[in-house]
Amino acid sequence: MTKTDSASSAAGSTDPRLDGHDEQDLEQHFDATIARDQRIEPRDWMPDGYRKTLIRQIAQHAHSEIIGMQPEGEWITRAPSLRRKAILFAKVQDEAGHGLYLYSAAETLGADRADLTQRLIEGRQKYSSIFNYPTLSFADVGVIGWFVDGAAICNQVPLCRSSYGPYARAMVRICKEESFHQRQGYELLMTMMRGTDAQREMVQDAVDRWWWPSLMMFGPPDDASPNSAQSMAWKIKRHSNDELRRRFVDMTVPQAEKLGVTLPDPELRWNAERGHHDFGTPDWSELQRVIKGDGPCNAQRMERRRSAHEEGAWVREAASAYAAKQSRRAREGAA
Amino acid sequence: MSSTEGVKDEWPLYEVFVRGKRGLNHVHVGSLHAADDRMALTHARDLYTRRNEGVSIWVVRSDHIAASTRDEKDPFFAPSADKVYRHPTFYDIPDDVPHI
């Protein structure tokens, strides 16, 4: 995970040091490493497609964590108790941390941090569609922890075995922390469900609004996800979108029963024959709309991220100027 | 800092090493950007030790790290490959010799 790693690996297959070696040999070595279930590390030779796919996936994941601070961050000042406020602070701080672990992993592939930020701000790279929905009540904070972080756990636990070492290691750290996120959300909801009728209605309303967007987090159905097969062959991804979605449903249904809420899907029922739940089909046209920028909060999220970046520019510049002055003084003092 | 504002100095990249607890080595945990060493340490604390993961942190500018080349066929590690006599299992000792 060093810059020396990134700098040399960034050159990819155009690296002049390849001259002595047959590219076919290197590719065979790469394929064999993947086949043996060993990790690819930053300084290894890798096909351009593998590098590009990883950078895109890791960057998109990092952007999602960063944008993901916004929906819940809006509730920090309005949290109903100091305890909830402290928890929410810690959670939002974790999201920032997750984004930074992932940017760090992307940089080992030769990506540039400032460039990634710029791509996000200019809308050239995506983030998860889920963060384009509004948080209308404090119950949303609980439901996000339960559904959104629960879905993230389904997605991310298998990524701890992803073939690219730095990505897999970042996922290990992230998964440990996601468990806190999910549990605090569920506990928050349990507390509200023990409260008044109005509070129970808020929880059910939040569940109704977040259920389908949460199922969409796993991406389009397998037959409409053209890049999945290659990612699975490279062991970047370990399970298909539909498979992970099924797991999430199976995991969440008993939790909903315990909580005493209804999941808003009339087709949802246990299928004893398959040993899994049957469930309805999300509105894929909605997912496409939100991905293309037409969700309820896309413009707001992007504007917020852009203004945070621009308004922070003077801080970054002042810190650089201070560092330059200190190092000049140190040099003059030594001379 | 943005590419559209023209070239401005980026904060340099630092590698972060954390000692998890006394008795263990510092281990590489990742990287971050910071304007100077002090900020790198503070950011490393906030980023990599939010849950008691460390008792000591090292940060070092990534461009100060010298590393072996990435090439698998590099002869750099070859000298250790053909010296089996460096391993205890190279030596046959009768089973009835105790404590060896």
Per-residue pLDDT tens listing for chain A (335 residues): 444 444 334 434 445 445 556 788 889 999 999 999 999 999 889 999 999 999 999 999 999 999 999 999 999 999 999 999 999 999 999 999 999 999 999 999 999 999 999 999 999 999 999 999 999 999 999 999 999 999 999 999 999 999 999 999 999 999 999 999 999 999 999 999 999 999 999 999 999 999 999 999 999 999 988 888 899 999 998 899 999 999 999 999 999 999 999 999 999 999 999 999 999 999 999 999 999 999 999 999 999 999 999 999 999 999 999 999 999 999 998 87
Match 């281990």 to its residue by tokens: B27
d(CA A215, CA A301): 21
What percentage of residues in chain B have a pLDDT greater than 70? 86
B79 pLDDT tier (thresholds 50, 70, 90): confident
* Whether B42 contacts chain A with CB within 8 A: no
* Whether B30 contacts chain A with CB within 8 A: yes
| Chain A residue whose CA is closest to B66 | A4
Residues of chain A positioned with their CB less than 8 A from the CB of B69: 8, 17, 43
Q: Do A316 and B1 touch (CB under 8 A)?
A: yes
Is A44 in a helix, a strand, or coil? coil
B70 pLDDT tier (thresholds 50, 70, 90): low
| Chain B residue whose CA is closest to A91 | B50
Q: Do A309 and B15 touch (CB under 8 A)?
A: no
B10-64: CATH class:
alpha beta
How high is the pLDDT of residue A37? 93
| Substitution target from A18, A104, A181 for chain B, most B beta carbons within 10 A | A104
Structure tokens given for A64: 């999602």
| Substitution target from B70, B73, B76 for chain A, most A beta carbons within 10 A | B70
Our separate counts of H helices and E strands in chain B read 1, 3
Element (H or E) spanning A67, and its range?
A: helix A48-67
Element (H or E) spanning A64, and its range?
A: helix A48-67
Q: Do A2 and B65 touch (CB under 8 A)?
A: yes
Residues of chain A positioned with their CB less than 8 A from the CB of B33: 113
How high is the pLDDT of residue A21? 63
- What number of CA atoms fall less than 13 Å from residue A34's CA on the CB side? 23
How high is the pLDDT of residue B15? 97
Reference A11, options A112, A117, A109; nearest CA is A109
Q: Do A118 and B3 touch (CB under 8 A)?
A: yes
| Inter-chain contacts counted by CB atoms under 8 A, chains A and B | 100
Domain residue ranges of chain B, discontinuous segments joined by +? 10-64
Is A321 in a helix, a strand, or coil? helix
d(CA A187, CA A258): 12
* Whether B44 contacts chain A with CB within 8 A: no
How high is the pLDDT of residue A12? 42
How high is the pLDDT of residue B80? 81
* Residue A218: burial class (beta carbons within 10 Å; 0-12, 13-18, 19+): buried
Residues of chain B positioned with their CB less than 8 A from the CB of A322: 35-36
Geometric angle at alpha carbon A188, from A183 and A193, rounded to 5°: 125
How high is the pLDDT of residue A81? 97
Strand order in the sheet with B13-19: B26-33, B13-19, B56-61
Longest dimension (CA), chain A: 81
How high is the pLDDT of residue B72? 56
Q: Do B10 and A17 touch (CB under 8 A)?
A: no
Q: How many CB atoms lie within 10 A of CB B37?
A: 15
Higher pLDDT, B71 or A3: B71
Reference A174, options A152, A141, A144; nearest CA is A152
Output the CA–CA distances (angstroms, integers) from residue A66 to A51, A73, A98, A204, in the order listed: 22, 11, 8, 27
Q: How many CB atoms lie within 10 A of CB B25?
A: 8
- Give the distance from CA A253 to its chain's centroid: 23
A118-127, A315-324, B22-31, B65-74: the lowest-pLDDT one: B65-74
How high is the pLDDT of residue A24? 87
* Whether B31 contacts chain A with CB within 8 A: yes
| Substitution target from B61, B65, B72 for chain A, most A beta carbons within 10 A | B72
CB A55 within 8 A of CB A42: no
Output the CA–CA distances (angstroms, integers) from residue A170 to A120, A128, A145, A150, A167, in the order listed: 20, 18, 20, 18, 5
Is B83 in a helix, a strand, or coil? coil
Task: Give the mean pLDDT of B35-42.
Answer: 97
Our separate counts of H helices and E strands in chain A read 15, 2
Structure tokens given for A275: 């040993």
| Chain B: closest CA distance from residue A107 (Å) | 9
How high is the pLDDT of residue B75? 77
Residues of chain A positioned with their CB less than 8 A from the CB of B9: 320, 324
Tell me the one-letter amino acid at A332.
E
Q: How many CB atoms lie within 10 A of CB A199?
A: 17
Q: How many CB atoms lie within 10 A of CB A112?
A: 17
Task: Give the mean pLDDT of B38-67.
Answer: 96
B18 — phi, psi (to 5°)? -125, 135
pTM of the entire structure? 0.89
Residues of chain A positioned with their CB less than 8 A from the CB of B45: none
| Chain A residue whose CA is closest to B39 | A319
